Structure 1
Amino acid sequence: MSNSPPIDKTAIRHASTVIVLRDRHTAPRILMGQRGAKAAFMPNKFVFPGGAVDAADVDIPLAGKINPRCHTHLTQKTDADRTHALGVAAIRELWEETGLILGKKGVWDSTPPADWTEYAATGHLPDASALQFVFRAITPPGRPRRFDARFFLIDAEALHGDIDDFSNASDELSHLQWIALEDVRKFDLPFITEVVLAEVAGRSSKEATPDSVPMFLNTEEESLFLRLAGNSPLEHALKP
């Protein structure tokens, strides 16, 4: 039995979500799966791969860091620089939930933690350099789980192996599939996913890192739509 203290279900946990885009310039599709009916957070909804940052993520070495512009945006409107841990969490969650590898060919310098054993066995080191930070959202108060989620976009070309092979995926997401952007709203989606999809659709033909990143900030007092741009995270603040 674990001696760890119980998780405060009302606390806001930091999280990473990965939007994988393929065939960007021809027939863009994104990877999604369905959460279980008994899931405490967003049951039955179709979502992107992702999940909470683990305490151990800060100690996992990266073969490539998140690019400087994304780093600037990730360090705004926060009490600490969690860029490294968020990048690690994105790669780990993508691997666990889909079996897809975002990394660089290489051998680990030391024995990987248990959560990374199977990933390391593929002959890769986690590499966050392909991640583009494109959205941030904090779950509104009153939900059974609250997350401060950073959404990262990657091109499927950055992945290693067969991108249609989900045989190494866990059972956390079912019905993993590539969905055409034009068809995705036919599925049962969370509200925030629909909002993020609008951003992805607008970026589907662009490969450069965005100059600013939209953010939904939900607190007990108010809900705001912000843009994280340059050194002014409150620039262009608007009511949603």
Structure 2
Amino acid sequence: MASNELHPDVPPKDASTVILVRDGESGPEVFLLRRVGGMAFAGGMTVFPGGGVDPQDATADVAWAGPPVSWWAERFGVDESRAKALVCAAVRETFEECGVLLAGPTPDSVVSDTSGYAQARKQLESREFSFSEFLAREGLVLRADLLRPWANWITPVGEHRRYDTRFFVAAAPAGQTADGETSEAAAVAWQTPEEAIADWREGRTMLLPPTWTQLQSIASFGSVTEVLAAEPEIPVILPVLYQEDGQLRVRFPGQEPYYDAGIHPWSKR
């Protein structure tokens, strides 16, 4: 956000974010990207893979394995068209941003190596063809059953770009390698939530409240199996922006430990 200007009339767009998890020596690790500085939204921030829903995500004609669209619609409190778009966007954005593809040649398998799809990944990012066209061409089934619904945060009123973001969790598929081969990432890393929060606390990274909150949440689990077995409530979280001493602040549930660190990313944008 430039200076402290507020933009009260910007409607939020749908977006999907995927928290990729894997078991490490010290417990679950998550995959994080530091976004390229100067980007229109969350530039320089450390985030999970994700992005805005594409109009074609809602109309995607894909082979689907896992809970039906109606189940996702109920969990996220949306209609079925919107639910389908959110799930498709989650799988598409994860593939585009870090090369992890939650799809397989059959409903009970998953691609073990995505390196052969490197060119297609670049073409998807540049929107040369749709995700459904890619899956159909490669004979792949979208594995919605590998995702779990996790949270729902809406960008505060006042931001010049706003998103209604659904968070998912998914275990990193065996054999696949998450990377930073995307135009949006300056750096990537697997870290425990505790390591990621320590980096933020010591000023090496910047975390917005939704990312910080999900890291705190994942830190409470001892393994990926425990994370995937969780069935969290998914309230709609809409933080509130306000000005204090000439700087922007944000009010959100469970904010006390966040502000105890004395880090206020809105004042740095």
| TM-score, normalised via structure 1 length | 0.73
Query: Equivalences for 1:1-240 in 2 at 5 Å?
Result: 10-23=10-23, 27-60=27-60, 61-66=62-67, 71-75=73-77, 78=78, 80-81=79-80, 82-106=82-106, 114-116=129-131, 124-156=140-172, 159=173, 161-164=175-178, 166=179, 169-185=181-197, 186=199, 187-205=205-223, 206=226, 207-218=228-239
- Displacement after TM superposition at 1:41 (Å): 0.7
| TM-score, normalised via structure 2 length | 0.66
Provide the C-alpha distance between the structure 1 equivalents of 2:58 and 2:174, rounded to a whole number of angstroms. 23
How many matched pairs? 207
Question: 1:173-226 deviations in whole A, cap 9, x for unaligned?
Answer: 221221122200113211221112122222454231415224313479xx775x
- Which moves more between the two structures, 127-136 or 9-18? 9-18
Structure 1 unaligned blocks of 5 or more: 1-8, 226-240
Residue of structure 2 in register with 1:228 after alignment: none
* Contact 1:218–1:224 under 8 Å retained in 2: yes
* Contact 1:40–1:144 under 8 Å retained in 2: no
Provide the C-alpha distance between the structure 2 equivalents of 1:32 and 1:121, rounded to a whole number of angstroms. 30
Provide the C-alpha distance between the structure 2 equivalents of 1:128 and 1:209, rounded to a whole number of angstroms. 16
Question: 1:129-152 deviations in whole A, cap 9, x for unaligned?
Answer: 111111110110111210000000
Provide the C-alpha distance between the structure 1 equivalents of 2:34 and 2:136, rounded to a whole number of angstroms. 27
- Displacement after TM superposition at 1:53 (Å): 0.8
* Contact 1:136–1:213 under 8 Å retained in 2: yes
* Contact 1:102–1:127 under 8 Å retained in 2: yes
- Displacement after TM superposition at 1:28 (Å): 1.5
* Structure 1 residue ranges, 4+ long, deviating more than 6 angstroms after superposition: none
Q: Which has the higher helix share?
A: 2
- Displacement after TM superposition at 1:104 (Å): 1.9
